[in-house]
């Protein structure tokens, strides 16, 4: 199905659950099938292919590795996986059992960094499989006893990650030193995180219906979405510094520029459950729809104008694409 700026490409059955995706070193889109325990590959215009993993392993987030392979987390199997473009799979077990790995990203040091949701740790794995774990600081008094670190992204000489239950974002340096910054909105429940070319850290606040931005000087600005039940989930940035995000609750993909201009793209299939999002090999934005497809969103030029439906003061404008 299509709209003027969105195309959908079926890649699986409705119950397979495309969840996260990335552009691989071979120029194809690689994605996780969280419910059917497979890693998929799509070249637009060709038939999708996939590779079977252990049953009930729940492959979750996938990223392009520094060694020419794809790396991914398996949430229920508690493993870090590696798959070559030829389909050869290797898996590694972190030292902490049942750690619930979720987010994963290549770091500036040539290793992969990942979150351990169930163990409140950040993990680092080298391309030969050596794992180091870094415990997170204890949440502040009165907060959830579990930080539940979720997504993670690289930024220059460090990694940034969300702490979903601690209502904070964190930074870990290559020396393992961790700092934490709490969010202004209580119980915002941050999930997705990405870093723009200017060093700004963008993150989604799934429970607050907001997009957050931390500038390099440490200032956090939160941008409420027009639909506060939108449940923004994943976020990525493009070469221009625009942040693109999925709205799981509102069935949309949105973008926000550093000046706060928001554009919303409705997805053609109702209740398609958009999750992961990435810039594709063609420069368009691609998102994984858990109901069985990948969607391509053609970037559009936004125009700042009056009549902002979010009823905020100047500095926030919304355009529906």
Which of the residues are catalytic?
A: 275
Phi and psi at 18, nearest 5°, equal: -55, 130
DSSP 58-95: -EEEEEE-TTSSEEEEETTTTEEEEE-TT--EEEE--S
What is the CA angle 60-65-66, rounded to 5?
165
Cα–Cα distance measured from residue 7 to residue 284, given in angstroms and rounded to the nearest whole number? 11
Distances (CA, A) of 10 to 51, 159, 234, 291: 17, 33, 20, 9
Query: Are 181 and 162 spatial neighbours (Cβ–Cβ below 8 Å)?
Result: no
**10 Å Cβ neighbour count for 119?**
22
Q: Is 111 helix (H, G, I), strand (E, B) or coil?
A: coil
Cα–Cα distance measured from residue 166 to residue 86, given in angstroms and rounded to the nearest whole number? 40
Cα–Cα distance measured from residue 232 to residue 276, given in angstroms and rounded to the nearest whole number? 11
């Amino acid at each position: 199905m299509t709209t003027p700026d969105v195309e959908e490409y079926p890649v699986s059955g409705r119950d397979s659950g495309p969840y996260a995706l990335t552009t691989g070193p071979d120029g194809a889109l690689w994605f996780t099938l969280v419910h059917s325990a497979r890693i998929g590959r799509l070249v637009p215009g060709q038939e999708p292919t996939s590779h079977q993993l252990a049953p009930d392993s729940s492959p979750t987030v996938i990223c392009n590795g520094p060694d020419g392979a794809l790396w991914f987390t398996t949430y229920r199997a508690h493993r870090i996986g590696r798959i070559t473009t030829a389909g050869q799979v290797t898996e590694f077990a972190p030292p902490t059992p049942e750690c619930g790995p979720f987010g994963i990203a290549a770091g500036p040091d040539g290793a992969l960094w990942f979150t351990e949701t169930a163990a409140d740790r950040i993990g680092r794995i080298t391309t030969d499989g050596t794992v180091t774990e870094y415990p997170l600081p204890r949440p502040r008094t009165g907060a959830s006893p579990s930080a539940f670190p979720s997504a993670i992204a690289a930024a220059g000489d460090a990694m940034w990650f969300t702490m979903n239950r601690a209502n904070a974002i964190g930074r870990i340096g290559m020396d393992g030193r961790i700092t934490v910054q709490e969010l202004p909105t209580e119980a915002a429940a941050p999930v997705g995180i990405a870093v723009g070319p200017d060093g700004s850290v963008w993150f989604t606040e799934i429970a607050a219906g907001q997009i957050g931005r931390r500038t390099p000087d440490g200032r956090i600005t939160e941008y409420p979405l027009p639909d506060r039940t939108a449940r923004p989930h994943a976020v990525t940035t493009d070469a221009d510094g625009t942040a693109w995000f999925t709205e799981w609750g509102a069935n949309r993909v949105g973008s926000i520029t550093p000046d706060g201009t928001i554009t919303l793209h409705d997805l053609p299939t109702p209740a398609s459950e958009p999750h992961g999002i990435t810039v594709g090999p063609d420069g368009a934005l691609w998102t994984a729809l858990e109901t069985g497809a990948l969607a391509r969103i053609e970037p559009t030029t936004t125009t700042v104008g009056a009549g902002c439906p979010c009823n905020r003061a100047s500095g926030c404008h919304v355009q529906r694409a």
